[in-house]
Amino acid sequence: MGETFLLILLLIDATVRVATPLLLAAFAGMVAERSGVVDIGLEGKMLAGAFAAAAVAAVANSAWLGLGAAIVVSMSFALLHAYACVTHNGNQVVSGMAINILVAGLGPTLAVAWFGLNGITPALEGAGRFIGLNLPMSEWLAPIPLIGPVYAEVVSGHNILVYLTIAILPLVALLIYRTRFGLRLRAVGENPHAVDTAGISVAALRYRAMLLCGFLCGIAGAYLSTAHAAGFVRDMTAGKGYLALAAMIFGKWKPVPTVAACLLFAFADALQIRLQGVVLPGIGEIPVQVIQALPYALTVILLAGFVGRAVAPKASGIPYVKDK
Amino acid sequence: MRKLFAGLVVVAWAAATPATAADVVPGLLFDMGGKFDKSFNEAAYQGAEAFKKKTGIEYLEFEPTNEAQREQALRRMARRGANIIVGVGFSQTSAIETVAKEYPDVKFTLIDGVTEAPNVQSVVFKEHEGSFLVGMLAAMASKTGKVGFVGGMDIPLIRKFACGYEQGAKHAKDGTEVLVNMTGNTPSAWNDPTKGGELARSQFDRGADVVFAAAGATGVGVYQAAKDGGKLAIGVDSNQNHLHPGTMLSSMVKRVDVAIEEAFTDAMNGEWKSGLKVLGLAEDGVGWALDDNNRALVSAEMESALGAARKAIVAGDIEVADYSAGNSCDY
């Protein structure tokens, strides 16, 4: 019992670590799409954030400055996307893809130019990284069965960005559903004409949504390069931006189901890592290939069987052009 | 005007083609993972740089970013006058096979793969022998009796590392448990340090306290996780001891640099031969790294045990199973 219980706790612990960037990116995508802007460039913004965070943290030896730089850079790319798609009514998928491709090449190129390393930034140490925090009371709680280990393994020991994410996500959800800005944001994604008729600027709302989107992607990027890993590596987002988009669609553009979808993806990934080479009672050792296909198989099964129809915000992906 | 143009063409031609047959124009095609992966490709880079330093001869190079570029890059080098081209990594095998036929006068050296052609030299290493030694080291350094292995892409070559490592660990201490994880099934598995870190952490959670990574740039995440968790890690291909002094127990070095320098030098001296070349402990093609960075972690007892094992392997008294021989790890 004891060991299995600990294994489950460690599995949940890993799920939280893997889910953090997914959650941030999925919420970023949600904010953008609820305002009517499809943002396929989550991947690129995250990668740009990861590079900026790692580069600044390496030079300034401060993870916080790195985080700031990541947010600024990611928001700049979000503004670029908004400028192309909102101001000039450009195709949103093309613009997003362009950002992804641009960043994929730009990061490694700048790394070569600035650090003389090919596609990577120097390994971060000490103050250049967000390291795990041991929350107070974990030793005091340790002897208590159930609560002690849960507190020590799952709740405590993460880096500050994980806790920050847990704090930010409900705020974003509240912003979308419980504020005047949120009401307008949702309206502009469903029926921009009505919003415009009410005398509210569609463009300004979408710009603000994109800024928020960039902000969240920046944190996700900084998490990847300065908290989860210790430096930027070429293509280190490894498709997490697209996975986040899938999680958002999976979650029907709503906060709580989106969180559930992200946690599910992260859990499948963590499980996949831990099941390799483990002998299951009664079954024996499962072939690695089967285990590595697990997250994908799980996604297909759930998408096909359990999710049902996912309806996007009506105006999502359509540039708003005023009737003449 | 026309004369000037013709003159320019002559000058350009003279610069691009070798003046005498002895002149060598080397080319180097890296594998995915990049020149500065601190591991396999970086060793190749160092070998080519060493050649350049000694002879002053520049070399052509290319880093592919997708599969389709491999053949293109080889052709382009051959067309630009390269007469000895080294392809690094098993994934170059089919590309070299194809292009070697198109350019029968160009010499090709394939590292880590085997293909038969009159103008191709295949260089393979006995990774299992080197892995055996670091496996012994891991088992002797482990306090829990559990050691880990993180592989990159799941291919027979990486299984060969894992198999030798496991044998070495069990040879040093009977009953040592070896946890084996692979990062993925695609070439992107060489470039995923966050996943590498997670894999290492999962092994530490299961009780391992030494981990050996044979995973290209993914290994960077493994070594970082070991450092963060206060565990020991073993590097691969290049000497990676300097990455985290104090938690890098050693590195299983594979002298890709020597192989490449040799290929270039032999081609220059006209001593290059096609066919299969196998480098093991006896040829110093593989080994383990001991320097100032890991001196404190390696006891005299470990060092002498490894020295004895090395001698026994070279003499044939210890036979290390080669996974690639039968695609199974039987010993």
pLDDT band at B18 (very low <50, low <70, confident <90, very high): very low
The answer to whether the beta carbons of residues B221 and B195 sit under 8 Å apart is yes
Tokens for A233, please give them: 């590596």
* Whether A132 and B191 lie within 8 Å, measured CB to CB: no
- For chain B, what are the domain ranges? 2-126+257-279, 127-254+285-326
Side by side, which strands form the sheet with B286-288? B177-184, B146-153, B210-214, B232-237, B248-254, B286-288
* Whether A273 and B197 lie within 8 Å, measured CB to CB: no
The answer to whether the beta carbons of residues B202 and B149 sit under 8 Å apart is no
Q: Which residues of B touch A238 (CB under 8 A)?
A: 188, 192, 194-195
pLDDT confidence of residue B3: 53
Q: Which residues of A touch B192 (CB under 8 A)?
A: 236, 238
Q: What is the pTM of this model?
A: 0.79
Q: Which residues of B touch A270 (CB under 8 A)?
A: 198
* Whether B194 and A274 lie within 8 Å, measured CB to CB: no
Residue recorded with tokens 């994980």:
A162
Query: How many angstroms separate the CA atoms of A276 and A293, rounded?
Result: 12
Distinct helix (H) and strand (E) counts, chain B: 11, 12
Query: How many angstroms separate the CA atoms of B20 and B80, rounded?
Result: 16
Q: Which residues of B touch A288 (CB under 8 A)?
A: 154, 182
Query: How many angstroms separate the CA atoms of A254 and A262, rounded?
Result: 12
Residue recorded with tokens 């740039």:
B217
Q: Which residue of B has its CA nearest to A132?
A: B228
Query: How many angstroms separate the CA atoms of A69 and A48, rounded?
Result: 10
> How many CB atoms sit inside 10 A of residue B264's CB?
27
Q: b/e per residue, A198-236, with b = 16+ CB within 10 A?
A: eeeebeebbbbbbbbbbbbbbbbbbbbbbbbbbbbbbbb
Tokens for B144, please give them: 């829990």
Query: Among partner residues B197, B205, B243, which is closest to A10 by beta-carbon distance?
Result: B205
Query: Among partner residues B35, B192, B228, which is closest to A118 by beta-carbon distance?
Result: B35
ipTM: 0.76
The answer to whether the beta carbons of residues B38 and A123 sit under 8 Å apart is no
Q: Which residue of A has its CA nearest to B224?
A: A230
* Whether B191 and A233 lie within 8 Å, measured CB to CB: yes
Question: What string of pLDDT tens digits covers the 324 residues of chain A?
Answer: 567 787 888 889 889 999 999 999 999 999 999 999 999 999 999 999 999 999 999 999 999 999 999 999 999 999 999 999 999 999 999 999 999 999 998 998 898 888 876 677 888 887 888 888 777 766 677 777 777 777 877 788 888 999 999 999 999 999 999 999 999 999 999 999 999 999 999 999 999 999 999 999 999 999 999 998 888 888 888 888 998 998 998 888 999 999 999 998 898 888 887 777 667 676 667 777 777 777 778 777 877 776 667 788 888 888 888 765
Contacts of A86 (CB under 8 A, 6+ apart): A37, A203, A206, A207, A210, A319, A320
pLDDT band at B15 (very low <50, low <70, confident <90, very high): very low
More confident residue, B90 or B109: B109
* Whether B243 and A289 lie within 8 Å, measured CB to CB: no
Quick one: CA dihedral B215, B220, B221, B227, positive or negative?
A: positive
The answer to whether the beta carbons of residues A295 and A63 sit under 8 Å apart is no
Say how many CB pairs under 8 Å bridge A and B. Answer: 72
Query: How many angstroms separate the CA atoms of A59 and A226, rounded?
Result: 13
Q: Which residue of A has its CA nearest to B35?
A: A118
- Is residue B87 scored above 60 in pLDDT? yes
Instruction: Return the CATH number of B2-126+257-279, one of 3.30.420.40, 3.40.50.2300, 2.60.120.260, 3.40.50.1820.
Output: 3.40.50.2300
Identity at B39, one-letter amino acid code? S
The answer to whether the beta carbons of residues B193 and B124 sit under 8 Å apart is no
B133-171 pLDDT per residue, tens:
999 999 999 999 999 999 998 888 899 999 999 999 999
- Rounded to whole angstroms, the maximal C-alpha distance in chain B is 82
Interface residue ranges in chain B relative to chain A, Cβ cutoff 8 Å: 34-36, 63, 154, 179-182, 184-185, 188, 191-195, 197-199, 201-202, 205-206, 217, 220-221, 224, 228, 243
Tell me whether A234 touches chain B (CB under 8 Å): yes
* Whether B36 and A118 lie within 8 Å, measured CB to CB: yes
Taking alpha carbons only, the member of A161, A92, A109 closest to residue A132 is A161
Query: Among partner residues B180, B184, B193, which is closest to A277 by beta-carbon distance?
Result: B180
* Whether B180 and A276 lie within 8 Å, measured CB to CB: yes
Taking alpha carbons only, the member of A238, A116, A217 closest to residue B186 is A238
Query: How many angstroms separate the CA atoms of A213 and A153, rounded?
Result: 31
Distance to chain A for B7, nearest Cα, Å? 37
pLDDT band at B21 (very low <50, low <70, confident <90, very high): very low
Query: Among partner residues A14, A117, A233, which is closest to B193 by beta-carbon distance?
Result: A233
pLDDT confidence of residue A50: 95
Residue recorded with tokens 């790394």:
A111
More confident residue, B117 or A138: B117
The answer to whether the beta carbons of residues A159 and A227 sit under 8 Å apart is yes
Identity at A188, one-letter amino acid code? V
B190-230 pLDDT per residue, tens:
888 888 999 999 999 889 999 999 998 889 899 999 998 99
- Is residue B248 scored above 90 in pLDDT? yes
Q: Which residues of B touch A276 (CB under 8 A)?
A: 180-182
Q: Which residues of A touch B188 (CB under 8 A)?
A: 235, 238
Q: b/e per residue, A256-295, with b = 16+ CB within 10 A?
A: ebbbebbbbbbbbbbbbbbbbbeeeeeeeeeebeebbeeb
Taking alpha carbons only, the member of B133, B129, B76, B141 closest to residue B103 is B76
Residue recorded with tokens 């290929």:
B263
**Does domain B127-254+285-326 bear CATH number 1.10.645.10?**
no
- Is residue B14 scored above 50 in pLDDT? no
